[in-house]
Amino acid sequence: MLARRPLLADTPRPMAIRLLPEDVASQVAAGEVVERPASVVKELVENSLDAGAKRIEVTIRRGGASYIRVVDDGSGMDRDDALLCLERHATSKIRTGLDLAAIMTLGFRGEALPSIASVSRFRLTTRPHDALAGTEVAVAGGKIEHVRDSGEAPGTQIEVRSLFYNLPGRRKFLRTEATETSHVAHQLQLQAIGHPGAGFVFVNDDAVVYQAPPAGSLLERIRDLCGAAMAEQLLEVPGFAADGIGIRGYIGKPGVSRATRAQELVFLNGRAVENSGIYFALREAYHTALMKGRHPVTFLVIDMDPAAVDVNVHPAKREVRFRDPAALREAVVESVRKTIETGRAGWSPNARAEPPPLPPPAKTFPAQAAPPLIDEKEQVVLRRDWSLLPRQDIPPAPAPAVTADPPPAGGFKILGVLGKLYILMENASGLVLVDQHAAHERILFEELRRRMEDQGVPAQRLLIPFTIQSTPRDSDWITQNLATLTKMGIGIEPFGAGVHKIDALPQFIRAGDPQQFLRDVIEELRGVSSQSSKMRLGEDVIATTVCRHAVKANDYLREPELVRLIQDLMACELPYCCPHGRPTLIQISYADLEKKFGRKP
């Protein structure tokens, strides 16, 4: 049997309130700012950048847990400041509460240095450029051990040893050295890309990982840090400005994507930020150029009035709030979408500047030995399913030449068909593989969308209307967007609480599962900001749905049909990926081949 607890002892009593000793308070604050070695590197490098450094050298050992050093050639500090900067809430970057409303610097909280110094063995050496000598301050676990003159070069050097040595609980949370190192590397990469004008050196366990000189441009910096192959996969976002928002940078070509957000980089006034609204806008802008569940590659640089954004949301300053998130989203969508649409002209993902001097393939393969284009026995005539649309109203677009001779610049020569699915082609850069069905889908999709844009979406009355029941949230959304849905050829009206009646669907939709189709439409459209985007996205959903039904597997094409398919594909707005974001074309350049055959290291 349970003993009954005495009533009196149960009564809560007030507990004595005490102010925390300064070092404990710092450790508490450190818990928010200093999560792992990468956060130390972030704070120190931000300080260097705020101090106007043009060269920043970061050295770590054993993932940063045992040693971190950041050396800069920035303004440096005199002795008074070198001591003051270790006090909590000591900062040179803001003075009044008003300044907080428009932060121009990366730091402003005055918490990083005291926090770091309270959880490590810390040494600061600093010297202003016009001073004869510098100052060295050593701190351990928040307590100053010594202050003395030092003869280091002008600038600031901070060493952080034995991170969390006095917080064993925290230290236990650190991951393997390799993981912590990769966090540091990522953090530093963000800073270096956000500030191409500063030079960065990264040394890990006594090996130089990279030495990025001050770069003339963002692209140069991307090339230095992420490699030339990455730079070639990017489109430049031409400078865009509206409503005091500037957008520029580089984004992955359609079809370029990643499984994580690790390369979806967004910089706001020089600060790497994570913001779901911006991510959403990017997804909306890419739309069919991005596979479901994948993330785009971006180096998006947003510049805006610091008063229009609040960076004082999160101690690590990664999250931000915008005064007008809708305007920003529109700006991102518009600039990125334009970039993707105009970027098609330069398709050639792996094209090298100068084609390698290889003999033309025609000499290596005599004409009669060339593989047959198609397997005659198994061949069936393709039902051009996309002829469900009248083709005559589509003006013939200028397409690159498809010939039997060596390909002219920008043209293709069809070599054959692999596995009855992949069309092999040669272009000036090397080999091009085309996924026949993905190509097919893209062509059909664009024809359909063009028709909808010209003539609206024809609706088809249903013989038997049906109803859908939705959650209150979905139902509200539908009610507010009836006009848009109607324009998309969906006849829909309220039919009681949470229920809508559907009596017409877009003509092209084969009503296999109209309920599911509607749910797809609603899900796609719900997050979209503007009415015009909604309409366009709606058309895309309809067109992708139609394509999914219309394109068949295992269609064998005769040569003229192959030529036609390639011409139609290259005339598309976005020829290089299907409406679901999968690639239609893959380039394997001569350089890639040379590498594979070991001709080049």
Q: For ligand ADP, which is the closer residue by CB, 160 or 546?
A: 160
Between CA 391 and CA 587 the distance in angstroms is: 29
Task: Tell me which DSSP letter residue 59 carries.
Answer: E
Task: Name residue, tokens 């679901």.
Answer: 580
Q: For Mg ion, which is the closer residue by CB, 73 or 111?
A: 111
In the complex, the smallest distance separating the C-beta of residue 106 from ligand ADP, rounded to whole angstroms, is: 7
Alpha-helix residue ranges (DSSP H) falling in 456-589? 472-480, 482-487, 514-526, 531-550, 559-570
In angstroms, the Cα distances linking 223 to 218, 219, 541, 583 are 9, 6, 36, 24
Which residues are within 8 A (CB) of 379 and not within 5 positions of it... i.e. 6 or more apart? 556, 558
**What DSSP element (H or E) covers 327?**
helix 325-342
Footprint on residues 524-543 left by ligand ADP (CB under 6 A): none
Q: Taking CB within 5 to 8 Å according to partner kind, which of ligand ADP, Mg ion, none is near residue 334?
A: none
In the complex, the smallest distance separating the C-beta of residue 305 from ligand ADP, rounded to whole angstroms, is: 21
Q: How many residues bind ligand ADP (CB under 6 A)?
A: 22
Tell me: does residue 93 bind ligand ADP (CB under 6 A). Answer: yes
Q: How many residues does the chain have?
A: 601
Q: What are the residues facing 491 on neighbouring strands?
A: 504
Q: Taking CB within 5 to 8 Å according to partner kind, which of Mg ion, ligand ADP, none is near residue 587?
A: none
Tell me: does residue 75 bind ligand ADP (CB under 6 A). Answer: yes
Between CA 377 and CA 369 the distance in angstroms is: 19
Query: Of 45-53, 177-185, 322-330, 426-434, which segment contacts ligand ADP by CB under 6 A?
Result: 45-53
Between CA 562 and CA 567 the distance in angstroms is: 9
Q: Which of 30, 38, 113, 488 binds ligand ADP (CB under 6 A)?
A: 113
Q: Which of 92, 150, 182, 379 binds ligand ADP (CB under 6 A)?
A: 92
Tell me: does residue 110 bind ligand ADP (CB under 6 A). Answer: yes
Tell me: does residue 109 bind ligand ADP (CB under 6 A). Answer: yes
Q: Taking CB within 5 to 8 Å according to partner kind, which of ligand ADP, Mg ion, none is near residue 110?
A: ligand ADP
41 neighbors 63 (Cβ within 8 angstroms): no
Q: For ligand ADP, which is the closer residue by CB, 108 or 508?
A: 108
In the complex, the smallest distance separating the C-beta of residue 41 from ligand ADP, rounded to whole angstroms, is: 13
In the complex, the smallest distance separating the C-beta of residue 156 from Mg ion, rounded to whole angstroms, is: 12
Q: Taking CB within 5 to 8 Å according to partner kind, which of Mg ion, ligand ADP, none is near residue 74?
A: ligand ADP
Apex 554 CA angle, 551 and 560, nearest 5: 85
Q: Taking CB within 5 to 8 Å according to partner kind, which of Mg ion, ligand ADP, none is near residue 65?
A: none
The separation between CA 450 and the C-alpha centre of its own chain, rounded to angstroms, equals 29
**469: three-class secondary structure by DSSP:** strand
3 neighbors 91 (Cβ within 8 angstroms): no
In the complex, the smallest distance separating the C-beta of residue 82 from ligand ADP, rounded to whole angstroms, is: 8
The separation between CA 152 and the C-alpha centre of its own chain, rounded to angstroms, equals 40
Q: For Mg ion, which is the closer residue by CB, 109 or 183?
A: 109
Footprint on residues 165-204 left by ligand ADP (CB under 6 A): none
Q: For ligand ADP, which is the closer residue by CB, 108 or 299?
A: 108
Tell me: does residue 85 bind ligand ADP (CB under 6 A). Answer: yes
Using only C-alpha atoms, what is the Rg of the chain? 30
Tell me: does residue 71 bind ligand ADP (CB under 6 A). Answer: no
Q: For Mg ion, which is the closer residue by CB, 109 or 449?
A: 109
Q: For ligand ADP, which is the closer residue by CB, 99 or 236?
A: 99
Q: Closest-CB residue for Mg ion? A: 107
Q: What share of the chain is helix, strand, coil (3-state, %, to 5)?
A: 40, 25, 40
Q: For Mg ion, which is the closer residue by CB, 30 or 331?
A: 30
Query: What does the CA dihedral 110, 112, 116, 119 come to, rounded to 10 degrees?
Result: 70
Q: Which of 26, 27, 39, 47 binds ligand ADP (CB under 6 A)?
A: 47
Tell me: does residue 48 bind ligand ADP (CB under 6 A). Answer: yes
417-443 in b/e form (b: 16+ CB < 10 A) is beeebebbbbbbbbbbbbbbbbbbbbb
Q: For ligand ADP, which is the closer residue by CB, 107 or 581?
A: 107
Q: Taking CB within 5 to 8 Å according to partner kind, which of ligand ADP, Mg ion, none is near residue 423?
A: none
Which residues are within 8 A (CB) of 363 and not within 5 positions of it... i.e. 6 or more apart? none
Q: Taking CB within 5 to 8 Å according to partner kind, which of ligand ADP, Mg ion, none is near residue 448?
A: none
Task: Name residue, tokens 């990469």.
Answer: 189
Between CA 222 and CA 237 the distance in angstroms is: 14
Tell me: does residue 27 bind ligand ADP (CB under 6 A). Answer: no
Contact residues toward Mg ion (CB under 5 A) are: 47, 107, 112
In the complex, the smallest distance separating the C-beta of residue 269 from ligand ADP, rounded to whole angstroms, is: 15
Q: For ligand ADP, which is the closer residue by CB, 107 or 506?
A: 107
Tell me: does residue 136 bind ligand ADP (CB under 6 A). Answer: no
Q: Taking CB within 5 to 8 Å according to partner kind, which of Mg ion, ligand ADP, none is near residue 294?
A: none
Q: For ligand ADP, which is the closer residue by CB, 320 or 546?
A: 320
Phi, psi of 439 (to 5 degrees): -60, -45
Tell me: does residue 108 bind ligand ADP (CB under 6 A). Answer: yes
Is residue 8 classed exposed, middle or buried when 0-12, 13-18 and 19+ CB atoms within 10 A define those classes? exposed
Query: Of 42-50, 281-289, 290-298, 337-345, which segment contacts ligand ADP by CB under 6 A?
Result: 42-50
126 neighbors 77 (Cβ within 8 angstroms): yes
Tell me: does residue 135 bind ligand ADP (CB under 6 A). Answer: no
In angstroms, the Cα distances linking 135 to 17, 22, 80, 298, 395 are 39, 24, 9, 42, 74
Q: Which residues bind ligand ADP (CB under 6 A)?
A: 43, 47-48, 51, 72, 74-77, 85, 90-93, 107-113, 156
